[in-house]
Chains A and B, each alone.
Chain A
């Protein structure tokens, strides 16, 4: 059984007065295995938050099925074993961190003694020790994010759904969060998190799903996605004129008086390197370049009819919308 399974999820929004329909999610299919870290990757406005809100029952899907541990997600009870961190969380500013965690715990049916120990442990775990009795209005963004994680863990969930958990964290915070997520996987939890920052993913996810314009473009093991993607080589050389080089290899770029040639196979590399040396050029470096997640991401985006990112209204009117409507509304 999957920890989370989404089949054919569709969601549209209507603008209030024009009654115009925007299809935001166009059939999301993804599945998260138990005990893995799943990275939900996509650019701004792709529909990550919308998908997550459908899972959490904050939005009602138009079509499709969402199963958590094999049970329909729309059931209230399905959320008993889920921990959720919303995007840009905001919590009651009149409460202290400790009060807030007790309040969060009260929304689950948990034994009181268990809650007390867990709240104390969580405050320590997310690095808020010493701040637990401070009112949240005095919390910084990063501290709120940490508290958000603590409240997501208050029911000791099996599945964690984190919407942009790395946003607002400094490098130390990022590292702490990475360590925390890895230790949660160690403890057998499933972690599903969204991000548009590829670095966050590359360092720890087991599988990724790439969402673009309301649909999943690729999903798979990170190692597979990367190894399947073609590697290429970069040959850097100098002491050769552009004219001579163009006879060996017509396509190259010039940077700081050196030439960079991109080649697809190692056979090509041998040939080109030999010819350059033969022409008394100097080989500065030969770099095998592995395709990164970033490259996969950009190659998927390039497959899209390219849209100027500046036409998006404030970063929210993503590719899901026809470009022209950004200005109208």
Chain B
């Protein structure tokens, strides 16, 4: 890796690692994940299933929150506070800046998710669930989803304000959660042109449901290794496409 890219990545990571908000969110993620024990006491049914279900949901929620906020904030701040001037006036290309930022954010998310994941993994074992490898796979899939989210927030924050970036990123995230139901809708689209248009959108928008294997983990049903592999490739392709688009946008950006 070019030293400049590494320098930017490390500094990006350092910025989140020195932010109190980051620790607070990680802390709440862990707190909520552990309080799934409480929920499992209070609900009827298989306590272990409830524990996994609510615990994973909590970690998912807080990781997505961290991803969106750091993704938007860290790039926007560089531009708004003009610290980016300082980087881009060095022999660093716009491309390297974006790649460095992305890697730094990816490292930040790895740390956040890693901390929550390890604690929860042990917590499940201690609570009598054994070392459930499916949980590890769940976290791996979640990480891929988080990479897509930070790539999306990076794209938006490279050309628009944090508020718009936030709205766009959250919208895309929510669309990404439900878009798999598209085929149900498509049946009702009578006009062929309209159908073709939505079809294109369907393939362009992120299908984040691919990464959600919670029901298999909770129910203990088998995971399809091919589906997992495909999801991995999908994430890779999607992130690369987003980064390429971000770089194209960022290359033309002026720093006034």
A contact set with B: CB distance below 8 Å: 13, 53, 56-60, 76-80, 82, 84, 86, 88-92, 94-95, 103-104, 106-109, 151, 155
A92 near B93 with CB under 8 A, answer no
Known contacts being A59-B255, A60-B254, A107-B7, is A94 close to B18, with CB within 8 Å?
yes
A84 near B89 with CB under 8 A, answer yes
Which among A80, A88, A107 has the greatest number of chain B C-beta atoms within 10 A?
Answer: A107
On chain A, the residues within 8 Å of B256 by CB distance are 13, 53, 59
Q: Which of B14, B85, B91, B252 contacts A79 (CB 8 A)?
A: B91
- When chains A and B are docked, how far (Å) is the Cα of A82 from the Cα of B252? 22
Known contacts being A53-B255, A60-B254, A94-B18, is A76 close to B86, with CB within 8 Å?
no
Q: Is B198 an interface residue (CB 8 A)?
A: no
- When chains A and B are docked, how far (Å) is the Cα of A103 from the Cα of B92? 13
- When chains A and B are docked, how far (Å) is the Cα of A53 from the Cα of B91? 14
A80 near B255 with CB under 8 A, answer no
A32 to chain B, nearest CB (A): 17
Q: Is B248 an interface residue (CB 8 A)?
A: no
B contact set with A: CB distance below 8 Å: 2-4, 6-8, 10-11, 14-15, 18-19, 81-83, 85-93, 252, 254-256
Known contacts being A58-B254, A59-B254, is A108 close to B85, with CB within 8 Å?
no
Known contacts being A53-B255, A94-B14, A104-B90, is A109 close to B3, with CB within 8 Å?
yes
On chain A, the residues within 8 Å of B90 by CB distance are 79, 84, 104, 107-108, 155
B91 near A76 with CB under 8 A, answer yes
On chain A, the residues within 8 Å of B14 by CB distance are 94-95
B142 to chain A, nearest CB (A): 28
- When chains A and B are docked, how far (Å) is the Cα of A78 from the Cα of B14? 29
Residue ID in chain A nearest B93 by CB atoms: A76
Question: Total A-B residue pairs with C-beta atoms closer than 8 Å?
Answer: 77
- When chains A and B are docked, how far (Å) is the Cα of A79 from the Cα of B2? 16
- When chains A and B are docked, how far (Å) is the Cα of A56 from the Cα of B90? 8
A92 near B83 with CB under 8 A, answer yes
On chain A, the residues within 8 Å of B15 by CB distance are 92, 94
A151 near B86 with CB under 8 A, answer yes
- When chains A and B are docked, how far (Å) is the Cα of A303 from the Cα of B28? 66
A107 near B82 with CB under 8 A, answer no
A95 to chain B, nearest CB (A): 8
- Beyond A79-B90, A86-B85, 16 extra complex contacts between A and B, CB < 8 Å: A57-B88, A58-B88, A76-B93, A77-B91, A80-B91, A82-B89, A88-B82, A89-B82, A91-B83, A94-B15, A106-B6, A106-B10, A108-B4, A109-B3, A109-B4, A151-B86
On chain A, the residues within 8 Å of B85 by CB distance are 56, 58, 86
- When chains A and B are docked, how far (Å) is the Cα of A208 from the Cα of B54? 70
On chain B, the residues within 8 Å of A80 by CB distance are 91
A58 near B89 with CB under 8 A, answer yes
Residue ID in chain A nearest B15 by CB atoms: A94
- When chains A and B are docked, how far (Å) is the Cα of A77 from the Cα of B256? 22
Residue ID in chain B nearest A55 by CB atoms: B89
B71 to chain A, nearest CB (A): 18
Residue ID in chain B nearest A99 by CB atoms: B14
- When chains A and B are docked, how far (Å) is the Cα of A323 from the Cα of B197? 49
15 A/B residue pairs, CB under 8 Å, sorted by A: A13-B256, A56-B85, A57-B88, A57-B89, A59-B254, A80-B91, A89-B82, A90-B81, A92-B11, A104-B86, A107-B7, A108-B91, A109-B3, A109-B91, A155-B90
On chain B, the residues within 8 Å of A53 by CB distance are 255-256
On chain A, the residues within 8 Å of B254 by CB distance are 58-60
- When chains A and B are docked, how far (Å) is the Cα of A60 from the Cα of B88? 13
